[in-house]
Amino acid sequence: MIFVASCFSYGDRVALSVAGTAMQKQLALTPVRFGFLLSGFSWAYVLGQLPSGGLLDRFGSKRVYGISIFAWSICAFLIGFAGYLPAAYIFSVIFALRLLSGLAQSPVFPGNGRIVAAWFPTTERGTASAIFNSSQYFALVAFAPIFGWLTHSHGWQWTFWFMGIFGLVLVLAWSKIIYNVPDHPLISPSEIDCIEQGGGLVNIDRTAGKPTSRALTWSGVAQLLQQRMLVGIYIGQFCITTLTYFFITWFPVYLVQARHMSVLKGGFAVALPALCGSVGGVLGGICSDTLLRRGHSLTFARKLPIIAGMLLSVTMIACNYTNVQAVVMFLMSLAFFGKGFGALGWTVIADTSPKELIGLNGGLFNLFGNTAGITTPIIIGFIVQKTGSFNGALVFVGITALMAIFSYVVIVGEIKRLELKPTST
């Protein structure tokens, strides 16, 4: 269920990218101005991370997450209708609605992290986290061809109406399927014991609705930021998320503008690298959990797939040296696979978060990571406008992958669950 919900969350972000070429023509947007429009979502998404993490810890994952889905679906509807406003107002209204959508979606991945930490033992957590994290790639597989066809046949507004309609259906499914561990109607006491004995935090939502003494305090944030291991993880996530936002913002535009594909063909072409990323994401989690079950340390089992995946991602730079579309698609598919294989940040957060601050730590982690959602579209927009080429953009993204390796190898150190000191209230 959280995989499906996360697919819709990323689908909402991808909609603007696939419809981007048509919108650029209608609104006469420069690459830099379009980069700002792409980044609008992330400004509010980043600012919402700490409050959403605290709200998740206070009121529980199901309630906060469900409200989130409803709110971003309404924003998608309104963006579609904004296309009929006078041209002078369209950019500002869409930018404002993307801000609201980003704020609405801020609980999604911290909520995913809490749900996985509650429902899965440590030795299964890598696979579970990899499955929901692979949604960022599968969303392109599922939605990019649909959005390309809708934009080509009916206009870019229909991509957002599509997301709004099915988002409201998702709200109903969420309300029927998601439960706290002890409250699920089909769970047995032996299964609860199995999850709990394996490291699952089955009772983290038992106090939902009852304020905790730590969930929303700055002292908790300060304690988290004092941990070198966590700071290294945060920096690594910023670097890894830079790759994510290249693929979900500028990559469809790259295929149309740099590789001269039509909007319709580009929408379908995005699906192959995205499918490779999705497969890589699941395999990375399975590989990590397999290493753990075979007796390797938690540190080795989590770091090895991250390092290997980021090294594969650097291969995208080779696209600058070929004009053959098939070779470009192969290299991008390999880079996308590597990015997915190494995207174990949420697994690491579930492994390391203090038990009483899982939502807050997830929010802080996602805040640092998704700052890349602000910087990446704008930096790439400046590079493209300044040079008239995407070559420098691919080099920028490749170097960021190397920086992620540096962070996990040099800064993070041993991966283990933190025990924070009690704080006075």
**C-alpha separations of 311 from 307, 369, 398, 409 in Å:** 6, 19, 9, 13
- pLDDT, position 211: 44
pLDDT score recorded for residue 235: 94
Average pLDDT over residues 250-262: 80
Q: Please determine, for residue 264, whether its predicted confidence score (pLDDT) is greater than 70.
A: no
Say if residues 1 and 108 touch (Cβ distance below 8 Å).
no
**CB-facing half-sphere around the CA of 27: CA atoms within 13 A:** 26
Residue-averaged pLDDT of the chain? 83
Rounded distance between C-alpha atoms, residue 277 and residue 280, angstroms? 5
318-323 contact pairs (CB < 8 A, 24+): 319/394, 320/391, 320/394, 320/395
Tell me what pLDDT residue 266 has. Answer: 67
pLDDT average, residue stretch 326-354: 88
Task: Find how far residue 323's CA is from the centre of its chain.
Answer: 31
Dump pLDDT digits (tens) for 34-85. 777 777 787 888 888 778 877 887 788 888 899 999 999 999 889 888 877 7
For position 90, what pLDDT does the model report?
Answer: 78
CA angle 386, 392, 397 (to 5 degrees): 125
- Which of 40-44, 210-214, 239-243, 283-287 bottoms out in mean pLDDT, i.e. has the lowest? 210-214
Q: State how far Cα 109 lies from the chain centre.
A: 7
pLDDT tens digits along 131-143 = 887 787 788 778 8
CA–CA–CA angle 152, 157, 163 (5° rounding) = 105
Domains in the chain with CATH codes: 2-412 (1.20.1250.20)
421 falls in which pLDDT band (50, 70, 90)? low
Confidence of residue 334 (pLDDT cuts 50, 70, 90): very high
Is residue 289 a contact partner of residue 127, using CB atoms and an 8 Å limit?
A: yes
CA distances from residue 163 to 10, 136, 155 in whole angstroms, order as listed: 11, 15, 14
Q: Is 87 within 8 Å of 98 (Cβ atoms)?
A: no
Question: What are the φ and ψ backbone dihedral angles of 69, each rounded to 5 degrees?
Answer: -60, -45
Rounded average pLDDT over 354-358: 74
